[in-house]
Amino acid sequence: MTSAKEDFVTLTDACVLAVAGPTERYLAMLEGAFKVLVEMPGGGLIVSGDARARQKARAVIVALSDLYDRGIEISETDVRRLIEQPASSADAVTPPVDQRNTVIMGRRGAIVAKTAGQAAYLRELADKDLVFAMGPAGSGKTFLAVAHGVSLLLSRKVDKLIITRPAVEAGERLGFLPGDLNEKIDPYLTPIWGALDDILGAQVLAKKRETKEIEVAPLAYMRGRTLNYAYVIIDEAQNTTRMQMKMFLTRLGEGSRMVVTGDPSQVDLPNKADSGLTHAVGLLVTVKGVGVTELTADDIVRHELVARIVRAYDNEHKNSFS
């Protein structure tokens, strides 16, 4: 029986472990944020502290348990954002449920939007045949594009998932790298394959690569192709030239969709003004069927320090022009 300064939240043992996190890290985050004590006596969690602090901690716990019940793998990002979100009740911190905010059931649970910006991005992906997504590292622009593409592939709405990326570091001259075509381009696509492995698992991914349902296509090899019933992603698009971008966009065929992702602040071209990403967005933003999403540091779902780093660089850039 709990005292007047304790609240008991009834949860299943499995849910308790998910809410507690690895080595009870998430509980430690709650305790540090709200100055409460959270214990696991069995059958749930006991929250001790003053009334207002207990209310806030309990609201976050309830919201996290709701994520677990929806089949979503709880991450440190979820805990951090729920802690930072002002709330007076469990309902206030529970993320809004929008069917289009849930992309797919990955091998570790449902993949969902973590921020308002990501939710807007997923809606653009659902509604538009061509979407430009710009934002800093860690904002989810590539991972969510891949997840959406996999969902379309698994539901047979497209026949292929095609992934490309400019190999700027090698000057698009891939011949000096050892191995076949896949081995030559794979080093440039490591983030994409990492996302696919997270979503599908290594065995399913290997099978779909073998059957050519998931294809690697260096940007230089896209010329002359017409891509029908395919979902096509170009990552690091800020490193395409204007002519490369035009070539890529005009590959779009019947029943296909495209996503163009990149960070305009990280152009590696010799002439940064030649970036095909910013040029294409400015040219096509008002064209029917084209969606544009701009993610920010607020959408970063990596380590919380990454958001601070991005903001510091953004502030330096702004100050240099003030």
Split at pLDDT 50, 70, 90, the class of 184 is low
* Beta-strand pair 37-39/44-48: antiparallel
Contact 9, 61 (CB under 8 A): yes
- pTM given for the model: 0.70
Lowest average pLDDT, out of 46-55, 133-142, 185-194, goes to: 185-194
Helix (H, G, I), strand (E, B) or coil at 47: strand
CATH homologous superfamily of 99-320 equals P-loop containing nucleotide triphosphate hydrolases (3.40.50.300)
Phi, psi dihedral angles at 256 (to 5 degrees):
-105, 160
Count of CA atoms in the C-beta half-sphere (13 A) of 170: 18
Percent of the chain at pLDDT > 70 equals: 80
pLDDT of residue 223: 84
What's the pLDDT at 194? 84
Q: Could you read off the pLDDT of 44-101 as tens digits, one per residue? A: 899 998 889 999 999 999 989 888 887 778 888 788 878 877 544 343 344 443 444 5
Residue 276 and residue 222 in contact, taking contact as beta carbons nearer than 8 Å: no
Give me the residue label for tokens 């896949």.
Answer: 182
Residues 157-179 have a mean pLDDT of 69
Confidence at residue 97, expressed as pLDDT on a 0 to 100 scale:
38
User: Over the stretch 294-317, which tens digit does the pLDDT of each residue have?
Assistant: 998 888 876 667 667 767 876 766
Task: Centre a 10 Å sphere on the Cβ of residue 84 and count the other Cβ atoms it contains.
Answer: 10
Q: Where are the alpha helices (DSSP H) in the chain?
A: 13-20, 25-34, 51-69, 76-84, 90-93, 116-127, 141-154, 181-185, 190-200, 202-210, 242-249, 276-284, 304-320
Lowest mean pLDDT among 178-192, 200-214, 260-274: 178-192
- Measure the CA–CA gap between 28 and 16, rounded to whole angstroms: 14
CA angle 258, 170, 265 (to 5 degrees): 55
Specify the pLDDT at position 177. 55
With a cut of 90, say whether residue 285 has pLDDT above it: yes
Domain boundaries, the chain: 6-93, 99-320
Identify the pLDDT of residue 78.
81
Q: Report the CATH number of the 6-93 domain.
A: 3.30.1370.10
Say how many CA atoms lie within 13 Å of 244 toward its Cβ: 24
Q: Is the pLDDT of residue 277 over 90?
A: yes
Task: Report d(CA 143, CA 191) in Å as an integer.
Answer: 8
**Nearest-angstrom CA–CA distance, 174 and 167:** 8
Lowest mean pLDDT among 135-139, 213-217, 267-271, 308-312: 308-312
